[in-house]
Amino acid sequence: MRLSVQPGSQISPYLEKCCLRVSAHHSYRQASEEIAILTGITVSAKTQQRLVHRQDFAPPGVDRSPGVSQLSLDGGNIRLLTPKGEPSQWRQYKTLRLNGDGVGVAFYQSNEQLCEWAATLPVADVLYCLGDGHPGIWTLYAQLSLGREHEEILDWFHLKENLYKVGGSLKRLQEAESLLWQGQVDETLKLFEPLKKSQAQRFCDYLRTHRNRIPHYAYYQAEGIPIGSGSVESWVKQIDRRTQISGAQWREDHVPQVLAHRCAYLNGQLDPTSLSKK
């Protein structure tokens, strides 16, 4: 039986794939222990790490037909390695997910790379861009070269969450929810503009900022048009299950590859035919 072990290596491609799959959701030390239990072969934690950092985890390709009809943007946080006794440092990364529960990517401190990848996407005739109320999301959408007009949609659940933060009369809140579900921003503003409390005024500002991103949600839902960005929020949580395991801290220069590794696993890319070394 041929193992196809490369010159200078003691690890077969199949064992390498197993290591990469296990270390994509366990610490390198735990991956070493799991591989030893499952195969009887010792692959040290250091070797597990080196295997990850010599791969080229290129983002997956996307079929031109039917193309990309939905984009969802969000951000996550990752903890950087700091000297013992110094405060933790957390840095943000950005994630983009396609067509609801489709392919996802993550880029660390590099909107430029995200924009470059998005520019290669085959975009469908109708494109919906979803996100929560964070201004950075919409600023980044404005930087994307999507090649055609698109419609921005404020996540309904985020909108509803911000509505109920206003507090006060439950009847007023329920009436506002009904109005917003039908995309009636002006009528909703009339309910809160007379109120002096700061929460109400902040919500009014929020509605004015996102006025053009608030559609007739009821109609959109009935037509099967997406109204929530939960898929990309789920993507962030799935990435964090690896990057934020107990005690995890990362060298900053390793973070892009760690994110690419986890995304490759989540995208189903970790098979013998798709792995290529740097």
Report the C-alpha gap between 176 and 178 in whole angstroms: 5
pLDDT for the residue numbered 11:
86
Nearest 10 degrees: Cα torsion 246, 252, 256, 257: -70
Report the C-alpha gap between 239 and 93 in whole angstroms: 11
Contact 80, 111 (CB under 8 A): no
Q: Assign 108 to helix, strand or coil.
A: strand
Tokens standing for residue 235: 């993507």
Q: Can you give the pLDDT of all 278 residues of the chain as single tens digits? A: 344 555 555 788 889 999 999 999 999 999 999 999 999 999 999 999 999 999 999 988 888 878 899 999 999 999 999 998 899 999 999 999 999 999 999 999 999 999 999 999 999 989 999 999 999 999 999 999 776 789 999 999 999 999 999 999 999 999 999 999 999 999 999 999 999 999 999 999 999 999 999 999 999 999 999 999 999 999 999 999 999 999 899 999 999 999 999 999 999 998 765 555 55
pLDDT for the residue numbered 1:
39
pLDDT for the residue numbered 261:
97
Q: Go through 226-262 and write b for each residue having 16 or more CB atoms within 10 A of its CB, e for each that does not.
A: bbbbbbbbebbebbeebbeeeeeebeeebbbbbbbbb
pLDDT for the residue numbered 264:
95
Q: How many CB atoms lie within 10 A of CB 264?
A: 24
pLDDT for the residue numbered 278:
57
pTM for the model stands at 0.89
In degrees rounded to 5, what are phi and psi of residue 48?
A: -55, -45
Contact 47, 107 (CB under 8 A): no
Residue spans of the domains in the chain: they are 13-53, 68-153+229-262, 156-222
Q: Which fold is adopted by the domain 68-153+229-262?
A: Nucleotidyltransferase; domain 5 (3.30.420)
Residues in the chain: 278
Provide the residue type at 76 as one letter.
G
Question: Tokens 């995309």 map to which residue?
Answer: 183
Tokens standing for residue 79: 């903890």
